């Protein structure tokens, strides 16, 4: 076979006669929204529906056991640990516990004595007819002056004149 040389002319890419490249630009095909890609991805994962359903069933079935174990292990929480658990804080002489999503009718606070110390019990009625209960103490130098509810937050106003 005979080969003939084809001349190749080097041209400045900015030259007005430069031919457009045959290769598509690097962004070709990327005009789709990320949400559409995500929806398409999830739409093709039929096998995950079963896994998600089984996961939800297991979580629902064992949630009560987990809560029971937590109560058994945690026992009575110090006020700082209690606040950390609920994302609360001490502000203006009160313990502020955010309970957004709870109604006041589903919040019950009671006080008792355990091993010679005053212990508080917070009981919450949460979605699905479930209940959450935590025991805690106030800081050592405090009594509870009163408890108030404001905008989804439980305020435990402290009296620091403990004798």
Q: What is the pLDDT of residues 62-113, one digit of tens each?
A: 766 666 666 555 678 889 989 998 999 999 889 999 988 788 888 899 988 8
CATH 2.60.40 fits 76-159, yes or no: yes
Measured between alpha carbons, how far is residue 55 from residues 2, 63, 130 in Å?
69, 12, 19
Task: Kindly report, residue by residue over 27-75, the tens digit of the pLDDT.
Answer: 666 667 777 777 777 777 666 777 777 877 877 777 666 666 665 556 7
Task: Note whether 109 and 122 are within 8 A (CB).
Answer: yes
List Cβ neighbours of 96 (8 Å cut-off, separation of 6 or more).
88, 89, 90, 153, 154, 155, 156
Residue 96: count other Cβ atoms within 10 Å of its Cβ.
19
């Amino acid at each position: 076979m005979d080969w003939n040389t084809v001349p190749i002319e080097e041209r400045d890419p900015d030259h007005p006669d430069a031919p457009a490249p045959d290769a598509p630009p690097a962004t070709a095909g990327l005009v789709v929204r990320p949400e559409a890609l995500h929806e398409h991805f999830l739409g093709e994962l039929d096998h995950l529906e079963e896994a998600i359903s089984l996961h939800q069933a297991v979580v629902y079935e064992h949630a009560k056991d987990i809560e029971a174990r937590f109560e058994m292990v945690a026992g009575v929480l110090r006020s700082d640990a209690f606040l950390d658990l609920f994302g609360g804080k001490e502000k203006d002489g009160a313990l502020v516990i955010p309970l957004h999503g709870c109604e006041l009718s589903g919040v019950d606070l009671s006080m008792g004595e355990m091993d010679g110390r005053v212990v508080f019990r917070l009981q919450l009625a949460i979605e699905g007819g479930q209940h959450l209960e935590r025991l805690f103490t106030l800081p050592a130098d405090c009594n509870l002056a009163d408890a108030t509810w404001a905008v989804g937050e439980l305020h435990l106003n402290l009296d620091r004149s403990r004798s």
